[in-house]
Structure 1
């Protein structure tokens, strides 16, 4: 029996790496979704941050599912700190400000995944790990940013915990893969249930 194609509706390098490392055969199709428009509408509707993350994941998933067959995976991640959502920092100065603001405190990363098959959402998952940055001095933050470089702008928290950013943390609670941007274990279970993986 032919296995269904698996398509990742994302331009995220880390999400692709997670699937690749797990041996999942997949293709990448960028969704081309206007995230700012979705966020604006969600704010007007007073959506919760979890609902917003899921709406973004679904929009990416369905945008690609409308163009192709197979199983399509859409995902989104929102950082929440003191009840407020945060986007990825636009500049290194923004990243510095983010780390200064959140050092010594806990924040959460809301990870939403939507999976579509034959153009319809068949599965959803929300994960919400909690991360606590250790108390950091401005000099430590500057040293980190100088060494890590602008790659950290792809991280909503202005860190990449899988790399040098691990040195900034006191502790984390929750799924490691969800922290990186894709809750792998429940997704693998769903792909097995759909006959897309042998094991």
Structure 2
């Protein structure tokens, strides 16, 4: 059994669907402080560093167990975005995303006994269609606060699919974890049958 260093509903759902036995433990990492140290660092690298920062402290408390850390980061127009802190900020993000390409970086790391044994990041490219103010308002009427925990202000498995005109990349990456690569790494670590 592995340990998921997250309470992310999406990551849990992916592991559940794939039949992976795990226990989930929250990691109390100050993501904002880490990000402030990483100004100018490419988004994929930031996501990987954050995933590792979440897994390392959990690993110390579960000797011998493999800990999975994950993080997702959105970049649009050269800017990196965090989860919206309010409905108003969510609307601002959506107005900024309108008509642009969103790069969604999803990273995963595996740590055992405080040592990182594997890391991986994948990027999905999502073309956001032109969004009217009235659409943004009605979308948030239906999706807020559910999307408050979503870095791109969307759940692709729900109404968020209406934000896009094209998506390139793995569906799992869009959901928040490069699942196929994680499964291969778990097999390589002897946690799953080959």
- Offset, 1:26: 0.4
The normalised TM-score by structure 1 is 0.93
* Structure 1 SS opposite 2:162: helix
In structure 2, which of residues 3, 7, 14 is the aligned counterpart of residue 7 of structure 1?
Answer: 3
- What residue number does 2:128 align with? 133
- What residue number does 2:107 align with? 112
Rounded Cα–Cα distance in structure 2 between residues aligned with 1:134 and 1:48: 24
Rounded Cα–Cα distance in structure 2 between residues aligned with 1:77 and 1:140: 25
- 2:43–2:74: 8 Å Cα contact kept in structure 1? no
RMSD after superposition: 1.2
In structure 2, which of residues 11, 15, 30 is the aligned counterpart of residue 19 of structure 1?
Answer: 15
* Structure 2 SS opposite 1:42: coil
- What residue number does 2:45 align with? 51
- 2:2–2:23: 8 Å Cα contact kept in structure 1? yes
Structure 2: stretches of 5+ with no match in the other structure: none
- Offset, 1:36: 1.4
The C-alpha deviation readout for 1:38-65, integer Å capped at 9, x for no partner, is 112222xx43322221111111111111
Report the number of matched residues. 193
1:89 aligns with 2:47: no
- Offset, 1:168: 1.8
Rounded Cα–Cα distance in structure 2 between residues aligned with 1:156 and 1:31: 18
1:147 aligns with 2:142: yes
Rounded Cα–Cα distance in structure 2 between residues aligned with 1:17 and 1:179: 13
**Displaced runs of 4+ in structure 1, greater than 4 A?**
none
Rounded Cα–Cα distance in structure 2 between residues aligned with 1:15 and 1:52: 19
The C-alpha deviation readout for 1:146-199, integer Å capped at 9, x for no partner, is 112211111111111111111221010001111111110000011111121225
- What residue number does 1:159 align with? 154
- Offset, 1:95: 0.9
Rounded Cα–Cα distance in structure 1 between residues aligned with 2:101 and 2:58: 35
- 2:29–2:53: 8 Å Cα contact kept in structure 1? yes
Rounded Cα–Cα distance in structure 2 between residues aligned with 1:162 and 1:144: 14
